[in-house]
Structure 1
Amino acid sequence: MLIVAAGVAVGVRQATRPADRATTAPTSTSEDSATRGTSVHRYAYLPTGVGDPRQDYGDLYLPAGEHAEDSVPLVVLVHGGGWTARYGAGLFDPIARALAAQGVAAYNIEYRRIGSGGGWPTTFSDVAAAVDYVPTLDRLNPEIDTADSTLVGHSAGAQLAVWAGTRNAATPPEFGDPRSRWRPTRIISLAGPLNLERAADTGDTRVTRILGGTPAQVPDRYRAVDPIENIDPTMPITAVHGTADRVVSPSQSMSFVAAVQRARGEARLVLLRGQSHSALVSPRSSVFLQIIRMITASTRPSA
């Protein structure tokens, strides 16, 4: 069947997680001439009857044409928007389509947010489940290559992406079975709040809303999901920030990268002079193509 989301026709594949032991139903596929036949398929990443199917899904954008097994690199996208329901996955549709036009598969995930059933801990458990669905996505689409993949997030989505990609044994089990947590090859943070305690202490009420309190009130929650508290020195991370960002301070990326480097990890800071918070993901901005090239260059397509 076809549904229309944000004006885009999307082919829906009612896929299930392996534990559901159900057969994936064949569905139709849409094409967008602007991106040379990009196809979009929707997957529910939570088991049937769990969560909100209107939000707990991921759209997989595939490049046009036929592709050999493991020949299409994968990028997983986590949109931002202050963890609030006001902003959804449609924010990343232009990036997903631009990546597909470059021969890259883009898995653009949606999740419950403040105002639409999200908040603590639902927003985090949704994102964890969405990224842990990648192996199933690979099984259902053998053309994509998950052995070398990139996890990308913007703003609040960057916090979610960096946290989800660096979960470890200390991460509470409600945020993904430790035995089946998916691990990307690398992570790119675009204007991310990566030091949540500092953000909250300097007056960022978006952070205290999503975590349900200040660092003094709910310290365990900060320790569980704050990227700077969960550094994985083995995970390569690039933190990109505009120097004119007035929504999330560039110091968030700077302090995180410095902390990773002190832990002898691999982290790179990219500061874009004069660029605002939204410029990094706006198709109308002067750096949009630079961001697309950066993401695409991070992938290594199979020969």
Structure 2
Amino acid sequence: MKIGLTKPTRVPRAGKIAAGSMALVLLVACSGCFSKEDPGPLKIQDSTIASAEQPVSERAEPTAQRVPYPVGGQGDPSQNWGDLYLPGGVHKRGTVPMVVLVHGGAWHHSIGASTFDDYARAISARGYAVYNIEYRRVGSGGGWPTTFTDVAAAFDHVKQLMAEHPELSGRAVAVGHSAGAQLATWASTRGDSQLVPGLSAPKFRPSRIVALSGPMDMTFEATTDDHDLFHVMGGKPSQVPTNYSAVDPIQNLDPQIPVTAVHGTADSTVAWQNSQRYVQTLQARGGQADLKLLYGETHGSFLTYGSTHFNEVIDLITNGK
């Protein structure tokens, strides 16, 4: 086998090799040492390179802070906020992904964001920041269109949170349960619809959506005589059709955002066929959509720590599996 030499090469003694090699190293290392003035230590001109090598946040344990979000018109500081959970540890710039979490509760004031506190902590323990939002609901100043414009405003505020916390990567997953699944999905895929009074163009889009037990086809859900749905929408589809077309997830598709719909097969509150209809419609539009059926689970049983599919769903949210 030839190694590239066409004629024999004389090999010098070992001592001469060492000396020659050292001379070469010194020449390269000191190639800038022969100027008349010492240039001093090397300086990095691009500050982004320097900052990328240093952590921008360090926490001994996960923390939570309440952050208000602005709304158009008269807001309610007692409800227009989100709890921001930040994971513990040392984090460099742009390394921490986020989950935007929307609680359910039939759009009714009796159930609030505190019901998702433990779930937010479980997600944050996986290294995610979690933005668990509160919003006005039926019976506490919400209803049509306030509930929807509140959630849209909370989603728009994600851009500000990312600017304030440089460890956040800019990648976010929108997650909602039940009514929160409808709200999270619609807020993620909505356009600048004039059918919702006070709605502005979206400022934020998540990279992915996970809808848990959601009424993803609100017109189909209305066939079950869901009075909570009628209260938040201001009537039945036959009475306020433009309201439904404005915020119904299945009527506001964005094929560019992947969606995973998760539903228990024993759900008697919102039928799993609701998620199936949404997934099939999004797939027909060329979007990436998956249906994950949890055998034997009810409407929210898989949200309870220690339940059969608890870790599986958390994995799906944080790992995309």
Indicate whether the TM-score tops 0.5: yes
Q: How does 1:88-107 map to 2 (within 5 A)?
A: 88-107=112-131
Decide whether the 8 Å contact of 2:255 with 2:282 is kept in 1.
yes
Could you tell me which residue of structure 2 aligns to residue 159 of structure 1?
182
> How far does residue 201 in structure 1 lie from its aligned partner after superposition?
2.1
User: How far apart, CA to CA, are the structure 1 residues paired with 2:107 and 2:71?
Assistant: 23
> How far does residue 284 in structure 1 lie from its aligned partner after superposition?
4.2
Q: What is the percentage of aligned positions where both structures have the same residue?
A: 48
Higher mean C-alpha displacement, 151-160 vs 64-73:
64-73
Please say if 1:220 is aligned against 2:242.
yes
Unaligned runs of 5+ in 1: 1-30
Could you tell me which residue of structure 2 aligns to residue 262 of structure 1?
284
Please say if 1:41 is aligned against 2:65.
yes
Instruction: Sort the Cα spacing of 1:82 and 1:254 in 2 relative to 1 into closer, same or farther, 3 A.
Output: same
Could you tell me which residue of structure 1 aligns to residue 78 of structure 2?
54
User: How far apart, CA to CA, are the structure 1 residues paired with 2:297 and 2:113?
Assistant: 22
Q: How does 1:67-82 map to 2 (within 5 A)?
A: 67-82=91-106
Decide whether the 8 Å contact of 1:92 with 1:281 is kept in 2.
no
What are the Cα deviations for residues 64-86 of structure 1, in whole angstroms up to 9, with x where unaligned? 13311111111100000000011
Decide whether the 8 Å contact of 1:124 with 1:175 is kept in 2.
no
> How far does residue 47 in structure 1 lie from its aligned partner after superposition?
5.8
User: How far apart, CA to CA, are the structure 2 residues paired with 1:261 and 1:294?
Assistant: 19
User: How far apart, CA to CA, are the structure 1 residues paired with 2:287 and 2:198?
Assistant: 24
Higher mean C-alpha displacement, 217-226 vs 65-74:
65-74
Instruction: Sort the Cα spacing of 1:123 and 1:49 in 2 relative to 1 into closer, same or farther, 3 A.
Output: closer
Instruction: Sort the Cα spacing of 1:232 and 1:49 in 2 relative to 1 into closer, same or farther, 3 A.
Output: closer
> How far does residue 175 in structure 1 lie from its aligned partner after superposition?
5.6
What SS is found at the alignment partner of 2:89? coil
What are the Cα deviations for residues 117-149 of structure 1, in whole angstroms up to 9, with x where unaligned? 111111001000000000100111111112x21
Instruction: Give the TM-score of the pair, scaled to structure 1.
Output: 0.83
What SS is found at the alignment partner of 1:66? strand
Decide whether the 8 Å contact of 1:233 with 1:264 is kept in 2.
yes
What are the Cα deviations for residues 203-256 of structure 1, in whole angstroms up to 9, with x where unaligned? 111111110101010000000000111111111100000000011000100111
Unaligned runs of 5+ in 2: 1-58
Please say if 1:135 is aligned against 2:159.
yes
User: How far apart, CA to CA, are the structure 2 residues paired with 1:172 and 1:47?
Assistant: 18
> How far does residue 111 in structure 1 lie from its aligned partner after superposition?
0.4
Please say if 1:196 is aligned against 2:233.
no
Aligned length in residues = 263
Corresponding letter in the other structure for 1:60: L
What SS is found at the alignment partner of 2:91? coil
Corresponding letter in the other structure for 1:276: T
Corresponding letter in the other structure for 1:59: D
Structure index of larger Rg: 2
Instruction: Give the TM-score of the pair, scaled to structure 2.
Output: 0.78
User: How far apart, CA to CA, are the structure 2 residues paired with 1:297 and 1:137?
Assistant: 22
What are the Cα deviations for residues 143-180 of structure 1, in whole angstroms up to 9, with x where unaligned? 1112x2100000000000110000124454646421x5
Could you tell me which residue of structure 2 aligns to residue 181 of structure 1?
203
Please list every run of at least 4 consecutive aligned residues from structure 1 whose deviation after the TM superposition is greater than 3 angstroms.
47-50, 169-176
User: How far apart, CA to CA, are the structure 2 residues paired with 1:48 and 1:194?
Assistant: 26
User: How far apart, CA to CA, are the structure 1 residues paired with 2:242 and 2:311?
Assistant: 39
User: How far apart, CA to CA, are the structure 2 residues paired with 1:123 and 1:76?
Assistant: 16
User: How far apart, CA to CA, are the structure 2 residues paired with 1:282 and 1:171?
Assistant: 39
RMSD of aligned Cα (Å): 1.8
